[in-house]
Each structure stands twice: as structure tokens, then as C-alpha cells.
Structure 1
Amino acid sequence: MKLNPSVIQADHLPDTAHLRPKACALLLGVSIATFWRLVSSGKLKTHKLTERTTTVRAGDLRAFMAGKVDG
């Protein structure tokens, strides 16, 4: 399986970098369905870049992974 470069270099991305849902799911070690459940429950914040492009900021993902977000 070919990994997305953003997944490979996630530790080096600035907090303002945008990651796609699939990359976030891989980094979290969850399925894409579980990723969307986290979003729906408000535990993970997403941003709409365009009508069809949803992302998560690297800093928000890091905070979630560190357990620093309410939820």
C-alpha cells in the first residue's frame, strides 16, 4: 500500500497544515468510519476548504491524539 506523503511526514508538518480524512484515520489507527464518528461527536474538528474538500488541521489532530481536547 502506498502511503500519503502527509502521513509519512506528519510529525514535521506545521500545526496549520491541512490533512485529509483518510490520512487522519491512518494516523489515528482507526477506520474512516470511526474517523467520521469522532467528527460527528464533536471530538475532532474539521475545516471545509471547498464544498467537497474536508480537512483537519495538523495541530488539532495532534491535540486530539495527546488527549488535550474536551470530549
Structure 2
Amino acid sequence: MAKEQVSGMTDEERFRFDLTGFIVRPAILAPDEIAAIIDQIDRIKHDPESLPEQEYTTTSIRIQSDAQKSIRQS
């Protein structure tokens, strides 16, 4: 069975992607999904310790968090 292509790029989208490295497609995510993503990013940036560890496992955040804990303990 052939895999169905859901969506392709128009010539203009391909040009813009080649030029800028991204394209904008409206209405991919619902406003509430965008709000949830923004909230999560803000929490990761400003208060990562409020999240379960598996939700902020990037190395830089973990190192920063560990460093902050060490400073507080000394």
C-alpha cells in the first residue's frame, strides 16, 4: 500500500523555506495547544524545579539546576 502524502509544499513555500529555513502554516495547532506549549516553556525556563524531572531533562537545564542546588547548600 502506498503511503498517502498528507500535505506538500507549494513552490512559494519551498522558496521561502529555502530562503529562511522555515515556513509558516496557519492553524496547525489550536490556541489552547499553543498556550499549553508556551506555559511549559516558561516553566522550564523560569521554574524547572516545579516540573517532574522527566519534563526538563535537557542537559543545560539539569546542569543549571544542579549548580543552583549546590550554591544554595553551601
Q: TM-score range by the shorter chain?
A: under 0.3
Query: Which structure's residues are more often helix, by fraction?
Result: 2
Query: Which structure's residues are more often strand, by fraction?
Result: 1
TM-score, normalisation: structure 2: 0.26
Structure number with greater CO (CA < 8 Å, separation at least 6) is 1
